[in-house]
Amino acid sequence: MAQQVEINNPEELEDWLADKSKEWAQVMTLRSALRVLPCLNEYYGRGGVDDEVNNRFIINVLRGVRELGKPLV
């Protein structure tokens, strides 16, 4: 089981992230972006804003996910 970390302020977050690798950061960022996609789908289905804005936003998120999936060089 993964160790749970409690972070209470920006300084603690910065300290905790200091020893993490770029690859770890890439995986966490990708995972976070993918977790947002179901929320986007739910929001998109409600008609919160016009279709063009929704489509552009979702496409940009997917482009970001695609870039995150590329290996770091």
Report domain extents, the chain.
23-68
H-run or E-run covering 17: helix 10-17
21 dihedral zone (left: phi>0; alpha: psi -120 to 50; beta): beta
Each residue of 21-35: b (16+ CB within 10 Å) or e?
A: eeeeebeeebeebee
Q: What is the pLDDT along the chain (73 residues), one digit of tens a residue?
A: 678 889 999 899 889 889 998 888 878 878 887 787 777 767 666 665 677 777 787 788 778 777 777 776 5
pLDDT number for residue 48: 59
